[in-house]
Amino acid sequence: MIGILVYVGAEVAIGSLLINYLIQPDIGNISRTSAATLVGFCYWGGAMVGRFIGSAILQKVRTRAVLGIAAAFACLLVCTSMLTFGAVAMWSLILVRFFNSVMFPSIFTLGIAELGPFTGDASGLLVMAIVGGAVIPPATGWLADHIGIHHSFMLPAACYLYVIYYALKGSKPAAT
């Protein structure tokens, strides 16, 4: 549940602040209209492309590996954005959505693996965990208000670190 909670929270936090981030003079220095267009075509378009590519990769590569790599790239891109300015900061954050595209189905699949008769209950709990999209964005906004929007993305970066942990260790069924 924590994996879905933090993933959805990070995704929504970035999406919620992205236009305000892109219009910053030291980031994109573009108009709100241009920023909205970039978000619509590139950020959400990246999700579509990532989902198609991710689906093909998931046919050949283990889900844990795909999830771990995607979360590592997402975290790296968020950190790159926080540590740079201009086009690098702008495009690195926009590209995060490409890697987000495989996370929900991967976390969900790993979360219900090998649960037998408890699969239905577990899937219901995982769906409830999307509440992270209502919890983490306000916390990220609070950080933006207090330390600046550029570095407020440290919270989504930390969320991706948890998803990396989940992919590598936390999703493995306990030995009985």
What residue numbers bound the domain in which 65 lies? 2-170
Q: Please give the chain's pLDDT, 176 residues, in tens.
A: 999 999 999 999 999 999 999 999 999 999 999 999 999 999 889 999 999 999 999 999 999 999 999 999 999 999 999 999 999 999 999 999 999 999 999 999 999 888 889 889 989 999 999 999 999 999 999 999 999 999 999 999 999 999 999 999 987 766 55
Residues 150, 152, 154, 157, CA torsion sign: negative
Q: Decide: pTM greater than 0.85.
A: yes
Phi, psi of 105 (to 5 degrees): -65, -30
User: Would 162 be classed as within a structural domain?
Assistant: yes
Which amino acid is located at 40 in the chain?
G
- Give me the number of domains the chain comprises: 1
User: Would 101 be classed as within a structural domain?
Assistant: yes
Give me the CATH number covering residue 49.
1.20.1250.20
Calpha distance 38→45 (Å, rounded) = 9
